[in-house]
Amino acid sequence: MSRVLVTGSADGLGREAAKQLVRGGHEVILHARDDARAQQALDGVPGATAALPGDLSSITSTRALAGLLNAAGVFDAIIHNAGIGYRERARLETEDGLEHVFQINVLAPYLLTALVNRPARLIYLSSGLHRSGDPGLGDLQWEHRRWDAYQAYCDSKLFDAVLAAAVARRWPDVLSSSVEPGWVRTKMGGREAPGEIGPGAETQVWLATSSDPLARQSGRHFYHRRPRETHPAVADRVIQDGLLAACYELTGEVIADSSGTAPAG
């Protein structure tokens, strides 16, 4: 039995992954942005152990969530599922003065990775759209570009895959992977999506719990339990370290390598 945290598990792929984990006999901790959504998550996943609140659009709230998670003990796996999509009509600024898609989709999983007790496995939700992402690090907050919600989402999913690869390189004792679940029928994916939600969550569950040698290959990107090629930026060490340095500048928290060395910035 594994002990697994699934962020963003009040609905969609996160809830489905949590259900599959419970059915597999694993201990599951849920997460949602506030107390009401956390209760909704618990109601939606019978058998889950607990649901913890934390607003990922706030650095303060994300830090508090990390504290709750560390108080709960060490996890065998963390699935960084929480995220928002590509239908945001305007650039929204969080309480921290940051662009909200980047903060929720990229900075929050970075901060939780830096602060939460290191698990054996980390899984980051990316997307096939990451291949349309722009790996440039010069305007992560969309302060100098005309807002494009679709591009902001693609960029964030590219950076999620970059983050997974960077963690795999810096923490060789942790299995760190990224996943593209496919275009599935969720609130984010929409009713027109061709894929079923069940298969869209299976790879995350497999990576979090399986002893399959393929599932234990760190630094890989997966789609339906098979490795898939990524945007070239994912394997670029300069981009990996640049993203880590940018996130460090925003949070003051570092993901150091096994020797304790922080990325140069």
Query: Range with the lowest mean pLDDT among 21-30, 180-189, 239-248, 250-259?
Result: 180-189
Average pLDDT, the chain: 94
Q: Would you state the pLDDT for residue 203?
A: 97
pLDDT of 186 reads: 63
Angle at which helices 12-23 and 197-209 cross, to 10°? 60
**Structural domains in the chain, sorted by start:** 3-251 (3.40.50.720)
pLDDT tens, 127-148?
999 999 999 999 999 999 999 9
Q: Mean pLDDT check: name the lowest of 47-56, 150-159, 192-201, 219-228.
A: 192-201
Separation between Cα atoms, residue 70 and residue 54, nearest integer Å: 13
Q: What pLDDT score does 86 carry? A: 82
Helix (H) or strand (E) segment spanning residue 227: strand 226-227
Q: What is the pLDDT of residues 178-219, one digit of tens each?
A: 999 977 656 666 666 656 788 999 999 999 999 999 999 999
Q: What is the pLDDT of residue 195?
A: 61
Residue 31: pLDDT above 60?
A: yes
What pLDDT score was predicted for residue 261? 58
Does the pLDDT value for residue 253 go beyond 70?
Answer: yes
Question: CA 230 to CA 178: how far, in whole Å?
Answer: 10
How far is the CA of 6 from the CAs of 28, 30, 82, 261, 265, in angstroms? 7, 5, 8, 29, 31
Predicted confidence (pLDDT) at residue 92 exceeds the cutoff of 60: yes
What is residue 64's predicted lDDT score, i.e. its pLDDT? 98
- pLDDT, residue 90, reads 85
Catalytic residue among 157, 187, 223, 248: 157
Task: Give the mean model confidence (pLDDT) for residues 157-186.
Answer: 92
Burial 154-193 (b: 16+ CB within 10 A, else e): bbbbbbbbbbbbbbbbbbeebbbbbbbbbbbbbebbeeee
Question: For 34-88, where are the E strands, in sequence order?
Answer: 50-53, 77-80
pLDDT at 265 over 60: no
pLDDT given at position 49: 97
- For residue 138, what pLDDT is reported? 97
Query: In whole angstroms, what is the distance from residue 173 CA to residue 119 CA?
Result: 9
**Mean pLDDT across 57-62:** 98
Q: Angle 237-251/149-170 helices, nearest 10 degrees?
A: 100
Catalytic residue among 19, 110, 124, 153: 153
Is residue 187 flagged as an active site residue?
no
Segment 212-230 shows an average pLDDT of 97
Active site residue 157: yes
By three-state DSSP, how is residue 106 classified? helix
